[in-house]
Amino acid sequence: MKYFKSLGLCLVAVFALSALVASAAQAETSEGPLWIVGPTTRAVAGLLSGQTRAITSRTEAAPVLKGSVASVECEKATNKGVLLGGSPGTAFVEIKFEKCFLKGKPACTATGVNPKGAVEGEIPVNVLVILGFPASGSRTSAVAVFAPESGENLFSEFKFGTNAECGAFKEVAIAVKAKSSKLITINGQERDAGQIAEVGMAEGSTFVLSTPGLVSLVGLLKLPETAIKEATIYNSKTATYEKIEAELTGGGVLGTIKEIATTQIETNPKEEFGWNH
């Protein structure tokens, strides 16, 4: 009788432990996708809270800020930043758009005034990034949601030059701001989201969406011609997933803006990296 009583207690303990393990596993996977970098972090399923990796990146081709009235084209954009561990994975990135001008009018330069460009034609942008999932909620691919580092939801304010080629845009300043259906929280900071990029890698010369656990020495973020307007991200305050809508606006001058670009990303030092959940 004592044996069966002890066995019963053991079974209760086993079931309780199983429930705790299942609960812990659920907690680990419920907070959104996270970065994986190198074999060590891959073994523990992700870059942990407090861990970081420096990154550098550059656009594959000329990035375009396409407005409903006019557009700005830049020769390239170079970035540096840091991946921040934890779930969901986040990042901080400093971007420099270089040799920017009013599209079709190369003599009409566009230069950042807030943040201020170091040289004519440079538009700096500081962004916060959070990993999320597509609006469908599918976990077979991931998206990167961009929000401005500025508390005023300002990505950048730039000003066109004084060249006669600028025409009606001569010396016009444009503030590019984020606008989303609800505020998102990145590293404790509440912001409007402004852009949503596909997370992928190169397969030959083709962009392919990366899948959970897949790693590469070079990752790609793609802001497509047809802008992605919705995503599903984890809300740490409510401990639930929420669907958000996001866009960029240039006010009455450019209206709704979409950035068209594909960016190559590498860790520094160079390691294989990707995402998981």
- Positive/negative CA dihedral, 206, 207, 209, 211: positive
| 64 bridge partner residues | 73, 260
Rounded Cα gap, residues 15 and 8, in angstroms: 11
- What pLDDT does residue 239 have? 86
- What pLDDT does residue 205 have? 81
Segments of the chain scoring below 50 in pLDDT: 1-30
By C-alpha distance, which of 72, 37, 43, 36 is closest to 254?
72
- What pLDDT does residue 37 have? 92
| 257 bridge partner residues | 67, 248
- What pLDDT does residue 276 have? 92
Which amino acid, residue 199? V
Query: Which pLDDT tens digit goes with each residue over 122-132?
Result: 999 999 999 99
Rounded Cα gap, residues 63 and 58, in angstroms: 10
- What pLDDT does residue 18 have? 36
Residue 251 three-state SS: helix
Question: What DSSP state is assigned to residue 114?
Answer: E
- What pLDDT does residue 22 have? 35
Contact 222, 197 (CB under 8 A): yes
Rounded Cα gap, residues 131 and 133, in angstroms: 7
Contact 124, 94 (CB under 8 A): yes
